[in-house]
Chains A and B, each alone.
Chain A
Amino acid sequence: MLEDPDAEFVNRFRAGDEDAFVVLAGKYRAVMLSLALGYVPSMAVAEEVVQDAWVGVLRGIGKFEHRSTFRTWLFRIVINRAVSAAARERRSVPMHDLEPADGRSRFDAAGNWDVPPEPWVNQVEDRVTAAKVAARIMAAIGELPPRQREVVTLRDVQCMSSEEVCSALDISQANQRVLLHRGRSWLRQVVESEFGGTR
C-alpha cells in the first residue's frame, strides 16, 4: 500500500470536513503557485490556475484511487491547468531551458579549478544567516527555467522522493537528475555570489 502523507486529510475532506480541505489548500499553495509560475506570465494568472486546479481536484476526487500519492496527482493537475492557461494567454512558454550550470570559465584547460568555490558552508551554521540564505534561495528558485524549478521545488523544498517526482512530472530518473543538477548548481552559485564569490 502506498504511503501517502495526506491520506488522512484527503479522506476527511471527502467525508465533508471543510477544514481538512483548507489545510491542504494552505499546505500546497506556495508550491502550486511556484509550479504554475513556470508557465504563466503573472502571479494573478497563477492564482487563477491554483484555484482552477482545486476545482479540478474536487470534481475528480471521486475517481482518485490512491494509485499515486495525493500530492503527485495534485501537482499533475496544476501543471496541466497551467499549460492550458499559458496556451490561452498565447505565450510561448515554457522558455528554453537555459544552461545555468557552473560556468566553464571557472576551470582551467586541464579541467581543474581556476576560480575555486568561495567557502561559505561554515557561515550557514549560524541560524540568522541560514534564514537569509534560504530566503535568497527561495527567490532564486522562482527564477529557474520551468522544468528545473519543478524538480527543485518538489525534491528539495517539498522533500518528495525521486520516484514521486518522476511520476508527478512524467520524466525519467536520468532526466530528473539532470534538471536537479542544473537547478541546484545555479542555486549554489547564487548563494556563493551572496557571500562575495564569483558568479
Chain B
Amino acid sequence: MIRLAAWSRRGLTCRQAVELVTDYLEGALTGPQRRRFEAHLAGCPHCPEYLAQMRAVVALSGTITPDDLSPHMRSEFISLYRRWRADEAPGDQA
C-alpha cells in the first residue's frame, strides 16, 4: 500500500492535485483519476488541508443568508404586484 501511494504521488504533483479538487468534489473524476487523486492525498502533508479548506469555503458560503426586505421595498413590491393584478385579472377579485 505504501509503495503504491508513493508511486501514485509521484504520478500526481500537488499543483495538479489542487487543480482537480473541484472535479473531485463534483464527482466528475473517472475511477482511475479519483484513485490517483486519493492516493496523492494519502501521501501528501498539505493537500488534505487544501481539500478541507475548499470544503469549508463551500460550507461557509451556504451559511450566508440574504437580508430581509426593508419596509420601503416591501411596499414597492406590493404595489408592483397590485398593479399587475389590476391589469391582468380585472374581474378576478371576488
**Are A22's CB and B49's CB within 8 A?**
no
Which of chain B's residues have a CB closer than 8 A to the CB of A177? 22-23, 26, 28
Q: Contact residue range for chain B?
A: 35 or more
Who on chain A is nearest to B23 by CB?
A: A177
**Are A120's CB and B13's CB within 8 A?**
no
Q: Which among A31, A111, A152 has the greatest number of chain B C-beta atoms within 10 A?
A: A111
For window 1-60 of A, CB contacts with B under 8 Å fall at 13, 16, 18, 21-22, 25-31, 51, 54-55, 58-59
Q: Measured between C-beta atoms, what is the minimum distance from B46 to chain A in Å?
A: 4
**Are A111's CB and B64's CB within 8 A?**
no
Which of chain B's residues have a CB closer than 8 A to the CB of A101? 19
Besides A26-B74, A101-B19, A104-B15, 15 more A-B contacts (Cβ < 8 Å) are: A18-B85, A22-B74, A30-B66, A55-B80, A55-B84, A107-B13, A107-B14, A111-B16, A121-B53, A124-B60, A134-B60, A134-B63, A157-B61, A184-B58, A192-B53
- The residues of B with any CB-CB pair to A shorter than 8 Å are 13-16, 18-19, 21-23, 26, 28, 45-47, 49-50, 52-54, 56-58, 60-64, 66-69, 73-74, 76-78, 80-82, 84-85, 88-89, 92-93
